[in-house]
Structure 1
Amino acid sequence: MESSSKQLADRFREVILHGTFIANTNYRQELQGLSLSIANAKVGTLNTIATIAQHINYYVEGVLKVFDFRTLDIKDKFSFDFKPLTVQSDWDGFLNRFWNNCEQLALHFEKLNNEELDNVFVEEKYGSYLRNLEGMIEHCYYHLGQIVLLKKLAVSQ
């Protein structure tokens, strides 16, 4: 029987790296090979695809630090503040970092046992590791839907 942590890791990989079960797509499928002009395309007052992808990576990097250093240094108020990506190589480099960060986080997920999944995530107010990891997966799906729609709108402009 597959462990709960392995299932979480697989669900996270599915939404980011290679799955299609829930949304029939994933971040890598939507973003790999996407031009920076489409990633940066403004649709009204909405966030760009690039900003949303960086937003997700912001949280991934923040949670990675929890696994490495046991501190949570990210703040929601800064989760959309990024230096603009101005050349294609910046976008491509960001995507490679994003994929690597996500795989590293999935590896951390896999190492947790059931007791650790129930442990407090940094502080009591954040709940358990399980709650936060499931929340991260749901957050990724939420923004994946936005990316799919923004991509369709940007391409049709």
Structure 2
Amino acid sequence: MLNVFEAGALEIRDKHSFDLPEIKSKKDWNQLFNEIWTNAEKFVKHVENMTSDQLENIFVHEKYGTFLP
């Protein structure tokens, strides 16, 4: 979803939802954790900056509904 905010396109596919690199070390884990944490912080900032009207807009395609659940 972060890509929708940053590039305007929904590029994720369900079939790739759990594609992750193999974790072989503490370094691998820390790298993955840091990437997820950074992306989560970016996502939160985008949502915090949205107005109520923007949250009610269609999310990418009408079939996905609005930004609100």
Same fold (TM over 0.5): yes
SS at match of 1:84: coil
> Among 111, 130, 133, which residue is 2:49 paired with?
111
| Residue in 2 that maps onto 1:144 | none
| SS in structure 1 at match of 2:68 | helix
Paired residue secondary structure (1:92): helix
TM-score by length of 1: 0.43
Amino acid at match of 1:122: V
Q: State the distance in 2 between where 1:107 and 1:81 align.
A: 26
> Structure 1 segments of 4 or more deviating over 3 A?
none
1:83 partner amino acid: P
In structure 1, the partner of 2:4 is 66
Q: How much identity, in percent, do the aligned residues show?
A: 39
Alignment-mate amino acid for residue 30 of structure 2: D
The residue aligned with 2:32 is: 94
Q: Which of the two has higher C-alpha Rg? A: 1
Question: Greater relative contact order (Cα 8 A, min sep 6): structure 1 or 2?
Answer: 1
Q: Which amino acid aligns with 2:62?
A: E
Structure 1 unaligned segments of length 5 or more: list them.
Answer: 1-62, 132-157
Task: Report the RMSD for the aligned CA atoms in angstroms.
Answer: 0.9
**Quick one: distance in 2 between partners of 1:81 and 1:93?**
15
Measure the CA separation in 1 of the matches of 2:3 and 2:45: 13
Q: How many residues align?
A: 69
Q: 2:39 aligns to what SS in structure 1? A: helix
Map 1:2-151 onto structure 2 (within 5 A).
63-131=1-69
